[in-house]
Copies of this chain bind each other. A is one copy, B any other.
Amino acid sequence: MGDDKRLRDAAEKLALILAQGGMQKTTARVMTCLLFSQQETLTAADLCTELQISSGAVSGAVKQLAPSGLLERVPAPGSRRDHYRFPDGAWATLMSQQNQLLATMGEVADQGLAAAGDPSTPAGQRMAEMRDFYSFMLRELPPLIERWRTDFTAKQANQETHQAD
């Protein structure tokens, strides 16, 4: 990745954006480093030298990213080191996980509605709107993501076909 300054800049820029959105700064940097790297995979040592951070920091970032599907360990034949990669379809995975949040918001709204008692009270009305909104989103978003997955896979298959011609 050290091979192109523009890529590195873009990586750090995105890391900053993600950090402002709540992601840990180092975690974000590790993620964008993998995302913008011209190598297929990076090792922990690569990340240390590239980002100037300790191995402990890398370990921590990996522990956060892996369960979210934003980083995957790649079997590394012939190397004792772990190899990491930004997975295909990670963005879709990420957005799918937001659905969990949508569901939670809906549940909270339900509980609030029950607690408010009468839906015509101020709190009751707010809860009703909240519940309506989140159940709507929870119904509509997953199919949308699924559609992207399908479309994108098809698009890729097409490209490969044309390439082979």
Contacts and interface: CB of A to CB of B under 8 A. Distances in A.
A126 interface: yes
**Interface of chain A, main secondary structure:** helix
Contacts of A137: 95, 144, 148
B7 A115 contact: yes
Given A108-B10, A123-B37, A133 B152 contact: yes
B95 A35 contact: no
Contacts of A152: 129, 132-133
B92 A133 contact: yes
Given A10-B112, A40-B122, A86-B126, 18 more contacts: A6-B111, A6-B115, A7-B123, A9-B115, A10-B108, A10-B115, A14-B105, A17-B104, A35-B123, A35-B130, A36-B112, A36-B127, A37-B122, A37-B123, A38-B123, A91-B129, A95-B137, A137-B148
Interface of A: 4, 6-7, 9-10, 13-14, 17, 21-23, 35-40, 86, 88-89, 91-92, 95, 101, 104-105, 108, 111-112, 114-116, 121-123, 126-127, 129-130, 132-134, 136-137, 140-141, 144, 148, 151-152, 155
